[in-house]
Structure 1
Amino acid sequence: MAPPVTELTDRARDIFRAVVDSYLVSGTPVGSKTIAQLAGLSLSPASIRGVMGELEGLGLLASPHTSAGRMPTDRGLRLFVDGMMQAMEPSIEERQTIEARAGVGGPVEEALAATTLALSGLSACAGLVMVPKRESTLRQLAFVPLSAQQALAVLVSEDGSVENRVIDLPPGMSPSALVEAGNYMTATLGGLTLAEARGRIERELADGRAVIDGVARTLIERGLAVWSEDANRRPVLIVRGQGRLIDAAAAADLDRVRDLLDDLEGKQEVASLLDSARAGDATRIFIGAETKLFALSGSSVIARPFRGLDGRVVGVVGVIGPTRLNYARVVPMVDFTAATLARLMG
């Protein structure tokens, strides 16, 4: 663990902060001459080198090679984030951008994706959001004939949302049978989730209690199957703005960028990491090798849960980027985005 900030001398704190601030801007190791030129320190490069050596001995700074300057370690960044960072609240323009994207019409997933893309653009990171795991409760189901071979299956949820799917009709399906199947499903399955509806239909068919003919049964099974399969394929995680991870500094370290993009391809692992941020109300910051997933890519994740009207956590929003991201600016931006999404989900 990093030593408490209070155990560092004033001089060491000032120099450490200067190194971190400079590194987060440039992404390159910082030399003592650069630090000496900063106003307010009034120290010689030799004095600064001595203090930087002490900080290196504490595991807070590191040098990639002998002739290079120094850069903060993951341990050093943790000390900076937890004990020294001065947060910068989002500007009015940034707030308006996030709120405007969250206010787009259409399905919730589209608003989440649009908000995540806005967060990505403002933070210069990739934006992440976990899709809320909410199961729709069914109100009405119907089948509209399109041709002799296909029909449009229409599902109306209790929240008023409508979903349509084109399904293939079993041979011999008459228009009256379509109406019968829709009426049966509405009367029997209204108020249930998709999972509950499939379970009830399967039980009723198995027990012979379903008062419908064989063709209608086939249609009902197909309709429920296409909706359930579609729901299972929905991504647990929405990622937007991966291209922002490849900047000028990243071009010199393509292996790290490739590792990071590979991490994002394995969405389930990233989703599991975000899921660990669901507990509590505070923003979680995962820095580099502190998390096994990012040990190779040297990446950081900033994440915060957001809640629905009932107070339950319905998702997590955040960003992923290099460990040298601007924590002081991005952390409050993620906080504001989470608050915006909480209002959206309400």
Structure 2
Amino acid sequence: MSQTPIHELNDRTRIIFRMVVESYLDNGAPVGSRTVSKFAGLNLSPASIRNVMQDLEEAGYLASPHTSAGRVPTESGLRLFVDGMMQSAAPSVEEQRAIESQIRGDGPIEEALAAATSVLSGLSACAGIVLVPKRDAVLKAFSFARLSPSQVLAIMVGSDNSVENRLVSIDPAISETMLVEAANYISARLSGLTLSEALERLDSEIRAEKAELDVASQKLVRDGLAIWSLDANDRPVLIVRGQSNLIDDAAAADLDRVRQLLDELESKEEIARLVDSAREAQSTRIFIGSENNLFSLSGSSVIAAPYREAGGKVVGVIGVIGPTRLNYARIVPMVDFTAQALSRLIK
């Protein structure tokens, strides 16, 4: 079905369409012509309004649920509204303070990102999501702790004093002395380097026979460092907060959709790819329902915005996931403000 572009809708049609969408987004119920006729300043009979709504339905912007004579916006209608008719306003002073109070620079960036996601989830009544920037950690100290004859815990302290652990499989013949020597080599010779730089330095010293490590210890050092880069490549780091917001009183009548959305939220790799596609956006990007295959069954929307480091390079994306019936005019600026606040923190 070919749809009428927004600029070809006459003023009366645009006004009625906007009223239907805004009323639906406010209360979630189908909107009838009698309801629209009661809006102040609209001097039209319910019959005239019904004719306009019928035209909008035929154009693909409204639909009639079989249980009601009223109409609701289709996904195409929501897209038309969001792109060409929505009147958004900046977050309130209270909302801005709530967001900024959670985004602080006195700890690891992951803590600030998780806090930002939680507060955004609470303010929007959606599930908050953030794609953590893929950072190549800078080494400060390193150690190994044996857990079994064939497994050790590699413990890395970063330059920001963050501590991360990874399991590493080893040859049972590796002695405690070799573990200590390998850890001391990393801490002494590779401190101050990123993981990729440390691996390059190790390879360079091995080629020049300057590594001062036997073959078994060289492999231990390499395996200990490489486990982080493998982990980062295999598992996108996506933080999701506030899934419980999706199960409210309004969702009781549509539990199948909510269950489907919760199932989709378990697929973090798929969501990470979707959210990551918002990196190219200059500001906030909106995905409505089946515009993305991931949420075609649950009929959900994603609002996401990129945040940047000091040089302007995009390092991550933050946003929310919720039903298509969202208060877009309020939540879009809120997501954008949160992304800007994170960019200021990283700078």
Deviates more, 1:58-67 or 1:229-238: 229-238
In structure 2, the gaps of 5 or more residues are: none
In 2, Cα distance between equivalents of 1:312 and 1:187: 32
Change (3 A) 1:232 1:279: closer
Deviates more, 1:323-332 or 1:28-37: 28-37
Query: Are 1:33 and 2:38 counterparts?
Result: no
Name the structure 2 match of 1:160. Answer: 160
Change (3 A) 1:54 1:262: same
Name the structure 2 match of 1:341. Answer: 342
In 1, Cα distance between equivalents of 2:338 and 2:164: 31
Name the structure 2 match of 1:294. Answer: 295
1:223 positional shift: 3.9
1:81 positional shift: 0.8
1:331 positional shift: 0.6
Q: How does 1:61-140 map to 2 (within 5 A)?
A: 61-65=62-66, 67-103=68-104, 105-138=106-139, 140=140
Name the structure 2 match of 1:278. Answer: 279
Q: How does 1:259-270 map to 2 (within 5 A)?
A: 259-270=260-271
SS at match of 2:245: helix
RMSD of aligned alpha carbons:
3.1
1:294 positional shift: 1.7
1:160 alignment partner AA: D
1:54 positional shift: 0.9
In 2, Cα distance between equivalents of 1:145 and 1:9: 72
SS at match of 2:115: helix
User: Normalising by structure 2, what TM-score?
Assistant: 0.86
1:201 positional shift: 4.2
In 2, Cα distance between equivalents of 1:216 and 1:321: 50
1:29-66 per-residue CA deviation (whole Å, 9 max, x = no partner) reads 11112112222212222221111101111111001117
Change (3 A) 1:290 1:146: closer
Q: How does 1:1-346 map to 2 (within 5 A)?
A: 2-65=3-66, 67-103=68-104, 105-138=106-139, 140-143=140-143, 155-157=156-158, 159-163=159-163, 165=165, 172-174=175-177, 180-198=181-199, 201=202, 210-213=211-214, 216-217=217-218, 220-221=221-222, 223-224=224-225, 227-228=228-229, 231=232, 235-346=236-347
1:282 positional shift: 2.4
Change (3 A) 1:188 1:55: same
In 2, Cα distance between equivalents of 1:263 and 1:171: 43
In 2, Cα distance between equivalents of 1:237 and 1:339: 19
2:64 alignment partner AA: S
Change (3 A) 1:146 1:67: closer
1:190 positional shift: 3.7
1:104 positional shift: 6.6
- Asked if 1 retains the 8 angstrom alpha-carbon contact of 2:133 and 2:315, the reply is yes
1:51 alignment partner AA: V
1:123 alignment partner AA: S
Deviates more, 1:126-135 or 1:286-295: 286-295
In 1, Cα distance between equivalents of 2:57 and 2:261: 27
Deviates more, 1:140-149 or 1:240-249: 140-149
In structure 1, the gaps of 5 or more residues are: none
Change (3 A) 1:261 1:193: same
1:306-336 per-residue CA deviation (whole Å, 9 max, x = no partner) reads 1100110000111111111001000100110
In 2, Cα distance between equivalents of 1:208 and 1:68: 82
- Asked if 2 retains the 8 angstrom alpha-carbon contact of 1:152 and 1:164, the reply is no
1:251-271 per-residue CA deviation (whole Å, 9 max, x = no partner) reads 111111122112211111111
In 2, Cα distance between equivalents of 1:67 and 1:216: 73
SS at match of 2:239: strand
1:213 positional shift: 4.6
- Asked if 1 retains the 8 angstrom alpha-carbon contact of 2:108 and 2:162, the reply is no
- Asked if 2 retains the 8 angstrom alpha-carbon contact of 1:167 and 1:222, the reply is no
Change (3 A) 1:122 1:212: same
In 2, Cα distance between equivalents of 1:92 and 1:104: 21
Change (3 A) 1:264 1:184: same
Deviates more, 1:102-111 or 1:68-77: 102-111
2:163 alignment partner AA: E
In 2, Cα distance between equivalents of 1:308 and 1:34: 48
In 2, Cα distance between equivalents of 1:147 and 1:321: 43
User: Normalising by structure 1, what TM-score?
Assistant: 0.86
1:155 alignment partner AA: M
In 2, Cα distance between equivalents of 1:285 and 1:147: 47
Deviates more, 1:274-283 or 1:218-227: 218-227
1:166 positional shift: 8.5
1:193 positional shift: 2.8
In 2, Cα distance between equivalents of 1:226 and 1:280: 32
In 1, Cα distance between equivalents of 2:143 and 2:120: 40
